[in-house]
Chains A and B, each alone.
Chain A
Amino acid sequence: MTMDLFTLAFYLFALITLVSAAVVVFSKNIIYSAFALLFTFFGVAGLYVLMMADFVAIAQLMIYVGGILVLLLFGVMLTTNVISVDIRTGTIQTLPAVLVVSALAGILVGVFWTTDWKVSPSATGFEKTAPRIGELLLSNYLLPFEVASVVLLVALVGAALVARREKKVS
């Protein structure tokens, strides 16, 4: 009963992802949640690598870990009084949420489990994804690519404008 390296890596990354995601969701301390989110992103990036998505995995590490997580941490630090004891954040509507989420999880897992997915045995993965993704972005997906760049620009300007708006002195 030997497990090959792929299987071992898969279960390692799956464990990292799910355990740290559970810490994110159930931890009472928002700082712990933010740092657990770091490990979730790392675990998901590992899963991307196992699916032979090297470019997306690197993008995940650079944008999520390097950008979004730092942004979230700044948000936590700027809006939570770290020194006081008020760092714990409560939960609301726990019982209805448990019901809704367990129903959702049951449906999702049931659908994933029972659907006859057309798994293609000839799809053996990809060699180098970055050049082909670049070609796709400049051919089939040129318009969404350009729109995304405009969206990023507008988001950048908008975020700076909204965040720096001075409070009116009344």
Chain B
Amino acid sequence: MSESALAERPAATPSADVPLLEITGIVKAFPGVVALDHVGFRLRAGTVHALMGENGAGKSTLMKIIAGVYTPDEGTVRVKGKPVVLRSPLDALNNGIAMIHQELNLMPFMTVAENIWIRREPLTRLGLVDHGELRRRTQTLFERLAIDIDPEIEVRRLSIANRQMVEIAKAVSFDSDVLIMDEPTSALTEKEVEHLFRIVRQLRVQGKGIVYITHKMNELFEIADEVSVFRDGRFIGTKLSSELTRDEVIRMMVGREVTQMFPKEQVPIGEVVLSVRNLGLKNVFHDVSFDLRAGEILGLAGLVGSGRSNVAEALFGVVPATSGEILIDGKKVAINSPGLAMRHGMAFLTEDRKETGCFLLLDILANMDMAVLSHRYVKFGFVRSRPLQHDCDEMGRSLRIKTPSLQEVIQNLSGGNQQKVLISRWLMTQPRILLLDEPTRGIDVGAKAEIHRLVTQLAGKGVAVLMISSEMPEVLGMSDRVMVMHEGRVTGIVDRKDADQVKIMELASH
């Protein structure tokens, strides 16, 4: 079958030396961070090109630029040697670039065929949708890809894997030459992955170029022809996967000096404050056990989706755990709401500043005091605003929050200052256990250093800190020990003196 498909559809490139897709000198900056710094790579027809890199290395930003979601600040994108400007996903599609997103974009209450041909439905003479033709087209497409799904079934009845197949078929239906797959196997079983790879190989034979983003080392060697590695928004290199070993890839991904940006002070480590025993949340994470001591900073590393944030959410009662025990000061506690966790002296700085952190419409004062009001500064229900305002002012000064006054709306602050306000929200409650989820994500270097210093100071005062971070230097620089998670399980806890990037990457990708 693949032979005949190849005969019908010869390789799309006019000449073998012109790459299907070539990008050069791409720069993209977001407020406070340079996500991509003069990045480039080339994709050749008939190859699978894997992109590797840690979280935040810039892969996703790059893919979004190629797919027309973001426009770059600098640099050029060439399709078959011709420079193009991609202002929207539609532009990208028209230039033969289709992206299969990590989060699927299908409409659950429409049929498979309707989803694939949406906005391109074949019409009858009366201008109505020609359902017969729609089904025939879908069947032809599916035959070409060896997909076995009923075109008339509603998408919501399909498994995640089958939805993925439909997405791929949809991308192919545009006759795109370039297909971008962003971690397509993250929700698939082994068998489904095999099927996916069969399809990918078929597409390769048909002369398509496939950009394949993955975190999984074994997939890389199974499916990819070439590998490009990114780190901290920079392009590190492209190699043939046949010439690479697993260790070399890891070294390319992490190979950097740990700078002395992190003022780690050795502070006396105290008693165990928080013990976690076999904590689990059904289908999310399992058997998580660790001890956290006063004055200790325990780093929690792992890829996005490894269950790191879910553990913190369970500890704080946002989504309570379904199995296992939490002990505070050796006593078993049941934590099923954030209010209870706070009563046990916990505080939780969430990962997503906008979604679960800031009250964007409210002023800084309200953002600072919302947690502490549950316990202090209130008499007969009335807020004692004078001492509250005084203490918040003090807190704002000591954290050097840059604002004319606390009556300013938090929306107007920079990311770093917003993060400082959120940290003060929790410091106001004088916590003994501080859970930090990506405390420095998306903020500038100066504010980052200040937050690192602050966390170190807090540990010095005997606060027990659990710090989730995707930034390897931060984890290594700040932590006394590093716990690593992979697919919902703890794969290791490493002491500071034994921890290095290669070891942690290995545990994280297992």
Question: Does A pair with B?
Answer: no
Interface positions of B (Cβ within 8 A of A): none
Interface positions of A (Cβ within 8 A of B): none
